[in-house]
């Protein structure tokens, strides 16, 4: 649990821990130390407003309200823990029962949980408090029971998620009984999220108690919790507002403390780095060096690692693409090939820190925010195709809208003209019946078709560069062939240069003029696609040899390269 220790040592973690210690101390020692101040009646000092002697004022019997607020910590926290305990225990039992029941009964129980969940806790708690009466114990039962559906749902969702994992499948194949699987696999994996939610739920429970007591349905005099104090204080709000605000502060702070604890225990989002370097405001003039489409010199891209330090994922890459040239970048995962492509397109998000000596697309400095004119040119001249055709088209917009919008926005093309053009583009990538397809949503198209529609989108402007980042990795080989054919047709039609990113060196060698081999963020070799046999770097040679193809000698072991070779631990 080093991760937990690390989170607890952040400023937020220290604050939450300190707060928890404080609440625990108040609950443990408050009634012991302040009992006298909280209960001694002093009619002379009754109903005093806030002062230095009585920061929250006094009540109608002259008792110090700050002392009463501190003393009330114990009852408030104990009731909260009791109710949260009932919710969690009941929820776990119901959730587990729902998980192990036969299908019909299970469906009945989950439907019941669903229905219970559709009612807000306050109404459920009010309902139960009718039955159990307006007492502290009744309120605890009421709030505890009202929380059961939430946890039952949580447990059954978590359990179902774990139960469909491959490791549970594997255990089943190996003859592990359901009981053993539950104890060894399911329980350890649902426990952490359950703990997180319990902490968050304690916050809700605390506020619920305050609400019930505030309504006069919870703790009854002479006992008092924070809600009760708030209830009594709110009656005197005209004369002594602190009498109500004081206990209110205790409620909110403790509630926030519990929910912060929950947030702390769950994994937090990775932090973003803010790429402000190279944005010195003044637009650096970019001297045109030849007529290259893309010029990259000494590109470096860093991301924030798990431990907060910057990790360089692209380490000094140079790349030049001539007009109409087809260049492939090959590498394994972590080689930095996709990050390089995204940097060339200027599309890396705020989590990336991009530095370079030169990063230019047709005279446009990609390290700065582009001007309006530059945006227009980029929108028309640069096209992108991404790996996953399922998620790279917007699921909520028609294919037609997604094809036409760039030229409508940037070239001012009329909708009719753009639609006609879009239909042409779809036929060029060999999608049958373009008018119908233009009206459809992306999910109505097959994966290969969607990828070709992406290519067609790029054809709507006057593309000078098409960046295709693993465009066929998610597709079958026969579909890959159709997509590559569409890409080739697009190039023949427009004369655009292509930057193809792939892990498949055979594919790249069969499509590109030039190959750039990347590994661990650096370029290890550049060579012409038809001269693979002359590769000099051992990594390139290994990459070529380690992939079995239709001529590989089946009687011999495949050569092992790179990381894989280092992994080979031979005893």
Partner 1 sequence: MTIPPSAVTTAPSPEAAEPAASRGERLRVLVGSPRAAFVLQRLGRAAVSFAIVLVAAFFMVQLVPGDPVRAALGPTAPVATVDALRAQLGLDQSVWSQFGHYVSGLLHGDLGMSITSQRQVSQILGERLPTTLVLAVVSFLVAAIGAFPIGVATAVSARSGRHRVLDLGVSGLLGILIAVPNFLLAVLLIATLSIGLGAFPPAGWGTPSQAVLPVLALALGPLAYLARIVHIEMLRVLDTPYLTTARSKRLPGRLLYLRHALPNIVAATLTAGGVVLVGLVAGTVLVETVFTVPGIGSTIVSSITAKDYPLIQGVVLVYALLVLGANLLIDLALAILDPRSAIAEA
Partner 2 sequence: MSELEFDHVTVRFGHGRSLQTAVDDASLVVRSGTTLGLVGESGSGKSTIARVAVGLERADAGSVRLDGVDLTARSREARLARRLVQMVFQDPLAALDPRMPVGASVAEGLLASGRSPNRADREARVRELLELVHVDPARAGDRPARFSGGQRQRLTIARALAAEPAVLVADEITSALDVSVQGVVLNLLRELQAELRLTMLFISHNLAVVRYVSDEVSVMRQGRIVEHGPTDAVLEDPADPYTRELLRSIPVMGRPLDLEDL
How many residues touch partner 2 (CB under 8 A)? 62
Contacting residue, 20, 97, 126, 474, with partner 1 by CB under 8 A: 126
Residue 416 is encoded by which pair of tokens? 């009719």
Among 7, 73, 110, 419, binds partner 1 (CB under 8 A): 110
557 contributes a contact to partner 2 by CB under 8 A: yes
Q: Tell how strand 364-365 and strand 358-361 pair up.
A: antiparallel
Q: Does 529 bind partner 2 (CB under 8 A)?
A: yes
Residue 18 Cβ vs partner 1, minimum distance, rounded to whole Å: 18
Rounded to the nearest 10 degrees, how much is the dihedral formed by the CA atoms of 202, 206, 208, 211? -170
Looking at 19, 49, 216, 559, which residue binds partner 1 (CB under 8 A)?
A: 216
Closer residue to partner 1 in complex, CB, 142/561: 142
Radius of gyration of the chain (CA): 33
| Neighbouring C-beta atoms of residue 68, cutoff 10 Å | 25
Write down the least CB distance from residue 82 to partner 1, Å: 17
Q: How far is the CB of 106 from partner 1 (least distance, A)?
A: 7
Angle 415-428/399-410 helices, nearest 10 degrees? 120
Q: Is 169 in the site for partner 2 (CB under 8 A)?
A: yes
**Nearest alpha-carbon partner for 501 in 356, 319, 350, 371:** 319
Q: Per rule CB under 8 A, is residue 558 in the interface with partner 2?
A: yes
Q: Does 567 bind partner 2 (CB under 8 A)?
A: yes
Q: Which stretch binds partner 1 (CB under 8 A): 24-32, 37-45, 256-264, 503-511?
A: 256-264
Query: Binding partner 1 by CB under 8 A: which of 36, 179, 238, 551?
Result: 238
Task: Using the rule CB under 8 A, give the single segment among 202-210, 299-307, 308-316, 517-525 that binds partner 1.
Answer: 202-210
Q: Using CA of residue 500, residue 501, residue 502, residue 508, what is the dihedral sign? A: positive
Please report, as residue ranges, which positions from 155 to 174 form the binding site for partner 1 (by CB under 8 A): 156-157, 159-161
Which residue among 50, 66, 182, 345 contacts partner 1 (CB under 8 A)?
345
- Listing DSSP states for 117-184 in one string gives HTS-HHHHHHHHHHHH-SSHHHHHHHHHHHHHHHHHHHHHHHHHHHHTSHHHHHHHHTT--HHHHIII
Whether residue 307 has a cis bond before it, omega within 30° of 0: no
Binding of partner 2 by 107 (CB under 8 A): no
Residue 168 Rama label (left phi>0; alpha psi -120 to 50; beta): alpha
Interacting residue with partner 2 among 511, 514, 516, 521 (CB under 8 A): 511
- Neighbouring CB atoms inside 10 A of 333's CB total 7
* 484 binds partner 2, rule: CB under 8 A: yes
294 within 8 A of 320, measured Cβ to Cβ:
yes
Is the CB of 230 or the CB of 319 nearer to partner 1?
A: 230
The H or E element containing residue 313 is strand 310-321
Minimum distance from CB of 472 to partner 2 (Å)? 10
Kindly state whether residue 509 participates in binding partner 2, applying the rule CB under 8 A: yes
Per the omega criterion (within 30 degrees of 0), is the bond before 375 cis?
no
Interacting residues with partner 2 between 171 and 190 (CB under 8 A): 171-176, 184-185, 188-189
Query: What x-and-dash track marks residues 333-372 binding partner 2 by CB under 8 A?
Result: x---------------------------------------
Alpha carbon distance 272, 270 (integer Å): 7
Q: Which does 345 bind (CB under 5 to 8 A by kind): partner 2, partner 1, none?
A: partner 1
Which of residues 459 and 479 has its CB atom nearest to partner 2 in the complex?
479
* 161 touches partner 2 (CB under 8 A): no
> Residue 544, Cβ neighbours under 10 Å: how many?
19
Residue 563, token pair as written in the block: 């990381």
Does the protein bind partner 2 through residue 493 (CB under 8 A)? no
Among 153, 437, 491, 519, binds partner 1 (CB under 8 A): 153
| Among the listed residues 165, 279, 283, 371, the single contact to partner 2 using CB under 8 A | 165
Which residues, other chains included, contact 298 with Cβ-Cβ below 8 Å and sequence gap of 6+?
Answer: 316, 317, 318, 356, 357, 358
**Which partner from the list partner 1, partner 2, none does 28 bind, CB cut-off 5 to 8 Å by kind?**
none
> Quick check: 46 and 61 in contact, CB under 8 A?
yes
How far, in Å, CA of 76 to CA of 312, rounded?
51
Residue 206 near residue 126 (C-beta atoms within 8 A) = no
Looking up tokens 């937020």 gives 12
Q: Choose the stretch contacting partner 1; rule: CB under 8 A; options: 27-35, 233-241, 325-333, 544-552.
A: 233-241
Report the b/e string of 474-512 with b at 16+ CB within 10 A: bbeeebbebbbebbebbbeebebbbbbbbbbbebbbebb
Per partner kind, with CB cut-offs from 5 to 8 A, the member of partner 1, partner 2, none near residue 126 is: partner 1
Which of partner 1, partner 2, none does residue 405 bind (CB under 5 to 8 Å by kind)?
A: partner 1
* C-alpha dihedral (229, 231, 237, 240), degrees to nearest 10: -10
Which residue pairs from 530-539 have beta carbons closer than 8 angstroms and sit at least 24 positions apart in sequence? 532/505
| Minimum distance of partner 2 from residue 124's CB (angstroms) | 34
Interface segment toward partner 1; rule CB under 8 A; list 61-69, 325-333, 368-376, 546-554: 368-376
State which of positions 429-458 bind partner 1 (CB under 8 A). 441, 443, 454, 457
By the rule CB under 8 A, 170 interacts with partner 2: yes
Closer of 201 and 514 to partner 1 (Cβ): 201
Q: How far is the CB of 155 from partner 1 (least distance, A)?
A: 10
Distance in Å, CB of 563 to partner 2, minimum: 7
Which residue(s) pair with 320 in the sheet?
295
Contact residues for partner 2 (CB under 8 A)?
A: 165-167, 169-176, 184-185, 188-189, 332-333, 476-481, 484-485, 488, 503-507, 509-511, 529-530, 532-533, 542-544, 546-550, 552, 554, 557-565, 567-571
């Amino acid at each position: 649990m080093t991760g937990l220790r690390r989170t607890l040592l952040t400023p937020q973690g220290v604050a939450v821990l300190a707060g928890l210690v404080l609440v625990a101390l108040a609950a443990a020692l408050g009634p012991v130390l302040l009992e006298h101040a909280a209960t001694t009646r002093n009619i002379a000092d009754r109903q005093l407003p806030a002062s230095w002697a009585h920061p929250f004022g006094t009540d109608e019997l002259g008792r110090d309200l700050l002392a009463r607020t501190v003393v009330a910590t114990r009852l408030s926290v104990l009731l909260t823990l009791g109710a949260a305990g009932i919710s969690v225990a009941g929820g776990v039992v119901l959730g587990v029962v729902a998980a192990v029941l036969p299908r019909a009964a299970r469906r009945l129980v989950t439907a019941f949980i669903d229905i219970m969940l559709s009612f807000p806790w306050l109404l459920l708690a009010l309902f139960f408090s009718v039955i159990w009466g307006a007492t502290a114990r009744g309120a605890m039962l009421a709030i505890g029971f009202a929380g059961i559906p939430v946890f039952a749902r949580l447990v059954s969702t978590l359990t179902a998620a774990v139960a469909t994992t491959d490791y549970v499948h594997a255990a089943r194949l190996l003859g592990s009984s359901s009981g053993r699987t539950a104890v060894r696999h399911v329980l350890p994996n649902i426990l952490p999220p359950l703990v997180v939610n319990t902490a968050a739920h304690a916050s809700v429970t605390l506020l619920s108690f305050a609400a019930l007591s505030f309504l006069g349905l919870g703790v009854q005099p002479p006992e008092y919790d924070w809600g009760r104090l708030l209830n009594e204080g709110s009656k005197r709000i005209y004369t002594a507002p602190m009498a109500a605000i004081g206990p209110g502060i205790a409620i909110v702070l403790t509630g926030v403390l519990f929910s912060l604890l929950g947030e702390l225990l769950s994994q937090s989002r990775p932090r973003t780095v803010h790429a402000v370097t190279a944005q010195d405001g003044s637009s650096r003039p970019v001297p045109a060096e030849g007529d290259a489409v893309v010029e990259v010199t000494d590109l470096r891209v860093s991301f924030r690692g798990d431990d907060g330090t910057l990790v360089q994922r692209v380490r000094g890459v140079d790349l030049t693409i001539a007009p109409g040239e087809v260049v492939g970048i090959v590498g394994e995962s972590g080689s930095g090939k996709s990050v390089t492509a995204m940097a060339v397109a200027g599309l890396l998000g705020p989590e990336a820190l991009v530095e370079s000596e030169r990063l230019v697309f047709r005279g446009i400095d990609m390290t700065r925010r582009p001007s309006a004119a530059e945006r227009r040119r980029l929108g028309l001249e640069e096209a992108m195709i991404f790996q996953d055709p399922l998620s790279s088209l917007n699921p909520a917009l028609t294919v037609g809208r997604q094809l036409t919008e760039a030229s409508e926005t940037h070239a001012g093309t009329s909708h009719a003209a753009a639609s006609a053009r879009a239909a042409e583009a779809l036929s060029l990538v060999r999608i049958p019946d373009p008018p119908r397809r233009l009206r459809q949503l992306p999910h109505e198209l097959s994966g290969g078709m969607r990828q070709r529609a992406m290519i067609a989108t790029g054809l709507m402007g006057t593309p000078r560069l098409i960046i295709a980042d693993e465009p066929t990795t998610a597709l079958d080989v026969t579909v890959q062939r159709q997509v590559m054919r569409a890409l080739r047709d697009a190039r023949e039609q427009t004369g655009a240069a292509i930057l193809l990113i792939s892990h498949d060196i055979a594919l790249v060698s069969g499509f590109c003029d030039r190959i750039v081999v990347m590994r661990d963020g650096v370029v290890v070799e550049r060579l012409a696609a038809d001269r693979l046999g002359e590769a000099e770097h051992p990594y390139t040679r290994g990459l070529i040899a380690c992939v079995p193809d239709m001529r590989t000698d089946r009687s011999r072991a495949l050569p092992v390269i790179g990381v894989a070779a280092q992994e080979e631990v031979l005893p």
